[in-house]
Amino acid sequence: MTKILFVCHGNICRSPMAEFVMKRMVEEAGMADDFYIASAATSSEEIGNSVYPGTRKRLASAGISVAGKAAVRVWRSDYEKYDYLIGMDSHNIANMLRLFDGDPDGKIRRLLDYCDRPRDIADPWYTGDFDATYEDVYEGCTALLKAVRP
């Protein structure tokens, strides 16, 4: 089983968007049983809060529900638990490297590092552009799934 943890600052916008987009993709590909997919935050400020309304609305327009998802924190033990620790931007990567004391197994990458045009995914909490974030997340998840298919 391939285990993927998507990580962003608060776990209310980008990482849950990636979590649920990827879950949909593996389900549609008939591979849901081959994957364990989750998301978490590098900060503690949103822990317990539900997915941000803009993210919920954008995912709902794609027919994706985030019912029951609440923000959780990434833990040091997650390094051993997951095969891939996928940050949404360079700040998330830096925070994970600090938390995990490095990346000896090469598990940590930005989501869009799997694409032809590696880059950060802008935080829609600040930009307000949930459509652009969705497009980046979709592009990244498509490339990631192609890279890790069992």
Residues 42, 9 contacting (CB under 8 angstroms): yes
* SS3 at position 108: strand
Concerning whether 113 is annotated as a catalytic residue, the answer is no
Using the 8-state DSSP alphabet, how is residue 57 labeled? H
Number of H-type helices and E-type strands within the chain: 6, 4
Other Cβ atoms within 10 Å of 2 Cβ, number:
16
From the candidates 8, 58, 89, 110, give the one annotated as an active-site residue. Answer: 8
From the candidates 78, 89, 123, 136, give the one annotated as an active-site residue. Answer: 123
Concerning whether 8 is annotated as a catalytic residue, the answer is yes
> The tokens of 88 are what?
């949404």
From the candidates 13, 14, 24, 89, give the one annotated as an active-site residue. Answer: 14
Other Cβ atoms within 10 Å of 117 Cβ, number:
7
Concerning whether 14 is annotated as a catalytic residue, the answer is yes
> Which of these, 118, 117, 101, lies nearest to 109 by C-alpha position?
118
Rounded to an integer, what distance in angstroms lies between the CA atom of residue 115 and that of residue 136?
Answer: 10
Give the catalytic positions in this structure. Answer: 8, 14, 123
